[in-house]
Structure 1
Amino acid sequence: MDLYYEYPTYNINIDKEQQRLIDHDVIIFQFPLYWYSTPSILKEWQDLVLEYGFAYGQDGNALHGKTFFCAISAGGKAEAYQTDGYNHFTIRELLQPLEQTATLTGMTYLPPFCLFGSRTAQEERRIPEHRERWRELLTLLVEDKFDTQHAMPMEKLNHYWPQEQSVESDEGTS
């Protein structure tokens, strides 16, 4: 669901959003990485919806046992998100606050699914392959064929499947 569409004035319906979380086993935050973080409305959503007594703390176990990951796009190329790259941190390192949120709330955290070099992905014709991997990932999750333990140590879920083409093809590398 699109938070900006649903809540253009940021007046988030906490009860409705908490029920959405209860109703689903897999929670996905899909967003463009913006200044190394989530967009402001997603942060507001977290602050309001993931409240004490619901998501964490005494009796706050509504999310225990669920699976959580991020699906992100980033303007920079994959090599920019390395310790020795332009951004000085890996994508997993930059997302550690969300990983800790998952841990605190009792969810299993999975690595992100990433589209790097998003500004040039269309002209470089990387979108169809990326979209197909995304569809395959969602299908595996829905059909309960996803091996969480196998995926957890990976840097990105993009690497979950054996691929015929180079992994770099969807990451905006040259």
Structure 2
Amino acid sequence: MYDLYPDFNIDIETEQKKLLNADRIVLQFPMYWYSSPSLLKKWLDDVLTHGWAYGSKGNALKGKEILIAVSPGAKDEYYRRESGFGYTVNDFLRPFQATSNLIGAKFLKPFVTTGASSINDEKLSEQSKVYLKYINNENISLLGHFE
């Protein structure tokens, strides 16, 4: 996304057309400070407009699937409610789930690669294969509110 929009001037019409042509929307990003990179936040703000994505007449994305593929830097054991950061990765992704609910989309269980800051090439290659299989799976479950 940074290659497409290095100046942060997002082509809203082009992005909306891409979304209309997709059945499954994959948002893939590294997790920075328990959130997404700033350009993704701006993209959401600019592209998911009132009257198009939400509101009384905004239903362009209703029924589409949204899948988050995220790579937090810390290891898995830190993303626990009872230890570490005190929150799961899914907890940090709740704003995306709320957005999905607002636009009438189906929020699928995310694909998470923890420990991204220290992953080696072998593990990355292995995880890439798992990722490709996951995003092409037609039967990914929805993420529940308390998972």
TM-score range, shorter chain: over 0.9
Q: How many residues align?
A: 144
Alignment correspondent of 2:131? 134
Q: Bigger CA drift: 130-139 or 30-39?
A: 130-139
- Picking from 4, 7, 24, the partner of 2:22 is 24
- Picking from 100, 117, 120, the partner of 1:119 is 117
| C-alpha distance in structure 2 between counterparts of 1:153 and 1:9, whole Å | 34
SS in 2 for 1:4: coil
- Picking from 104, 109, 119, the partner of 2:102 is 104
Q: Deviations over 1:86-139 (max 9, x none)?
A: 21101111100000000110100012101111122116x311221111111233
Alignment correspondent of 1:49? 47
- Picking from 73, 76, 80, the partner of 1:75 is 73
SS in 2 for 1:47: helix
Q: Deviations over 1:139-166 (max 9, x none)?
A: 33xxxxx224xx2258xxxxxxxxxxxx
| C-alpha distance in structure 2 between counterparts of 1:49 and 1:61, whole Å | 13
| C-alpha distance in structure 2 between counterparts of 1:94 and 1:138, whole Å | 20
Alignment correspondent of 1:159? none
SS in 1 for 2:130: helix
Alignment correspondent of 2:142? 152
SS in 1 for 2:66: strand
Retained in 1: the 8 A contact 2:78–2:84?
yes
Q: Are 1:89 and 2:87 matched, yes or no?
A: yes
SS in 1 for 2:116: coil
AA matched with 1:62 = A
The percentage of counterpart residues that share the same residue type is 37
Kindly report the root-mean-square deviation, in angstroms, between the aligned alpha carbons of the 2 structures: 1.4
SS in 1 for 2:3: helix
Retained in 1: the 8 A contact 2:111–2:134?
no
TM-score by length of 2: 0.92
Which sections of structure 2, spanning at least 5 residues, go unmatched? Answer: none
